[in-house]
């Protein structure tokens, strides 16, 4: 009977208003952190986690039950700086085929230099080349 009412209204050029009785649950009043190991956003254009999932696409989605992955930036910052005995460091991401293309990083200037793909940091070992 419901289908017939819709099809009759559609053939007559009328619009039919459908009402939904689906209850939506409100999320908790405490905002969810951006990630378990980094509570704030890490980019100026990034929206905070509670407001990033707004809109009709996320109406019936409970944020508390969604995956909350660790921040890769925080994990990479915990990695120690790798000391290299030469002037060039080689990084391939580790793991063979699961890594990234092999790149060479120039270490002539002082301080740690990050890999452009994975963010691992390399630094020239102190006093390299002064062992005459």
Q: At the topology level of CATH, where does 79-124 sit? A: HSP40/DNAj peptide-binding domain (2.60.260)
Q: How confident is the model over 44-65, as pLDDT tens digits?
A: 887 776 676 677 777 777 777 7
Share of the chain above pLDDT 70, in %: 68
| Cα–Cα distances in angstroms (integers) from residue 26 to residues 9, 44, 61, in the given order | 35, 27, 10
Q: What is the CB-side half-sphere exposure of residue 16 using CA atoms within 13 A?
A: 13
Residue 68: per-residue pLDDT: 75
Q: What is the pTM of this model?
A: 0.56
Res 8 pLDDT > 50: yes
Mean pLDDT taken over the chain: 75
Which string of b and e fits 22-34 if b means at least 16 CB within 10 Å? eeeeeeeeeebeb
Query: How far is the C-alpha of 121 from the C-alpha of 42, rounded, in Å?
Result: 19
Res 33 pLDDT > 50: yes
Start and end residues for every CATH 2.60.260 domain found in the chain: 79-124
Beta strands in the chain (DSSP E): 82-84, 88-91, 103-106, 113-114, 121-124
């Amino acid at each position: 009977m419901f289908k017939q009412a819709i099809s009759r209204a559609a053939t007559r050029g009328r619009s039919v208003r459908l009402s939904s009785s689906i209850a939506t649950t409100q999320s908790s009043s405490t905002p969810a952190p951006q990630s378990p190991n980094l509570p704030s956003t890490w980019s100026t254009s990034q929206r905070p986690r509670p407001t990033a999932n707004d809109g009709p696409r996320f109406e019936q989605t409970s944020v508390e039950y969604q995956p909350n992955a660790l921040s890769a930036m925080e994990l990479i910052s915990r990695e120690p700086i790798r000391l290299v005995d030469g002037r060039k460091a080689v990084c391939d991401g580790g793991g063979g085929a699961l890594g990234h293309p092999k790149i060479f990083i120039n270490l002539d200037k002082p301080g740690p230099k990050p890999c452009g793909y994975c963010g691992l940091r390399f630094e020239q070992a102190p006093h390299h080349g002064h062992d005459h």
